[in-house]
Structure 1
Amino acid sequence: MRDDGAVRTITLDRPEAANALHLEDVDAITGAVADLPDRVRVVVITGAGDRAFGAGMHLDVFRDAAPGDGRAIITRLATCLRAVRTAPVPTIARLNGACLGAAFELALACDLRVAHAGVRVGLPEVRLGIPSVVDAALLPRYVGAALAQEMVLTGSVHRVDEPGTAPLVNRLVDSPAGLDDAVDDLVATLLAPTREVLSAQKELLETWREQGITGSVEASVDTFAEVFALPATRDAIARYRP
């Protein structure tokens, strides 16, 4: 985490594993967005290196867990994503590479997304034997029901410059070299209004969303916990090779 004036940058920093997340990383993100000093007006989340924004949860999180640990695991992730979604300042996902699984949900939890044309997004959890849950519930709002169903049922991965996934991104640049300028331009725009009005506007946006998403998230946590405890899930996790 790094603060530069009014901007806090959170970097998923495990490039040797495509920035895959451990639960300690999830908790660190929660703390970084939940405890913002007044001087911070925008949060930018990105990944280290040029290979990936994030590959999702590290496989060791699932392989090392007991069958009954599913609820605790997904609750920590849900807490993190809600903290990002309800942060009192605008959040920007700077998508510098592949954005999969929990990292894609993290990007969906952000208010805005900036990406280059080569970025690929997806929710491949079903191929591991577990459902896509929590902020994956936001996906149909961006890409429509048909593509969202395909993505969560097949684990398909798509480029963000495809027609179906284009609505996911607020700023699309041709190459990674253009990311910083696009993010800086967006940050400058967000620094113009007061912190208070943007905080209030974000609370309103969340209120509008919660009319449908709260029940979806609660149901998805239950489903994740139930499926995670199944013997077939344990077998699938043990067999999986990326």
Structure 2
Amino acid sequence: MSDSPLLTADRDGIRTVTVHRPDKMNALNSATLDALFAAFEAAAEAPDVRVVVLTGAGPKAFVAGADIAEMAGLQPVEGRDFALRGQRTMRRIETMPKPVIAMVNGFALGGGLELAMACHLRVAADTARLGQPEINLGLIPGFGGSQRLLRLAGRAATLELCLTGAPIDAVRAQALGIVNRVVPAAKLEAETMALAAQLARAAPLALRGILDCVHVGGEAALGEGLEYEAAQFGLAFSTQDMREGTRAFLERRKPEFRNR
């Protein structure tokens, strides 16, 4: 049996990556962070993978947080390095050229919420609980939580979640813009995979262009973002998929995109 903290499975252009540390509520230790980085590097390069779904093993936790047992004995420089290790992994996910969907099946706390927020879309079970409880350990978020939460939910919600450490339910998380969809727990996998299948049928180069534009625009002034969008829009006209998409529309049929 593999000692890897991850399980992967491919089907119809969708790669499912599962954090598999059920005895630790899927907590993120250094080995798991490195494995996630490698898994997303591989998914980015795999020509047959069009969408990645990220989830946690078992019914209780997506990822319950960073591994406290590993963190407890760290010294300041080691703590900084652990944060940078986590941020490197989150950044790899955030900058993926293919859509990444977090299937939040349970607790997404601390590093778990930071991991979910690094994904492009988040579908949560109605039983999920999300939060940044690091304050209860005498810590602050270290894998980008204060920054991505600020961009998703705004200043007031970020301060509330980080300063109180109190978790929120999936419905409130959706209202704050942290979660895209909330579905009954029994339908979570079916609903998430249906969304993934929809994206897997879309034009891969156009998906990448949208991801790039949103990523650049989120970190740039409006004028710079608009200029980048126009350039990417123009590049789309050089693709066979654009010709196929417009031709299929005019011929009233479904397009067959080939990532070219």
Instruction: Show the counterpart of 1:173.
Output: 183
Q: 1:125 aligns with which of 121, 134, 154?
A: 134
Q: Offset at 1:165?
A: 4.3
* Distance in 2 (alpha carbons) for counterparts of 1:199 and 1:118: 32
Instruction: Show the counterpart of 2:76.
Output: 67
Identity of aligned residues (%): 35
Instruction: Show the counterpart of 1:229.
Output: none
Instruction: Show the counterpart of 2:161.
Output: 151
* Distance in 2 (alpha carbons) for counterparts of 1:4 and 1:107: 22
Instruction: Show the counterpart of 2:58.
Output: 49
Q: 1:5 aligns with which of 6, 12, 15?
A: 12
- SS of 2:96's equivalent in the other structure is coil
- Shift in alpha-carbon separation, 1:89–1:164, aligned structure 2, 3 A: closer
Unaligned runs of 5+ in 2: 1-7, 222-260
Q: Offset at 1:138?
A: 1.5
Unaligned runs of 5+ in 1: 213-242
* Distance in 2 (alpha carbons) for counterparts of 1:163 and 1:195: 29
TM-score (ref. length: structure 2): 0.77
* Distance in 2 (alpha carbons) for counterparts of 1:187 and 1:200: 18
TM-score (ref. length: structure 1): 0.82
Q: Is the 8 A contact 2:111 2:143 kept in 1?
A: no
Q: Offset at 1:164?
A: 6.9
- Shift in alpha-carbon separation, 1:108–1:34, aligned structure 2, 3 A: same
Instruction: Show the counterpart of 2:253.
Output: none
* Higher normalized contact order (CA 8 Å, seq sep 6+, divided by chain length): 1
Deviation readout 1:160-186 (Å, 9 max, x if unpaired): 112774522222112x21111211221
Superposition pairs of residues 1-242 of structure 1, within 5 angstroms: 1-36=8-43, 37-136=46-145, 137-162=147-172, 165-174=175-184, 176-211=185-220
Q: Offset at 1:156?
A: 1.3
What is the aligned-residue RMSD (CA, Å)?
A: 1.7
Query: What number of residue pairs does the alignment pair up?
Result: 211
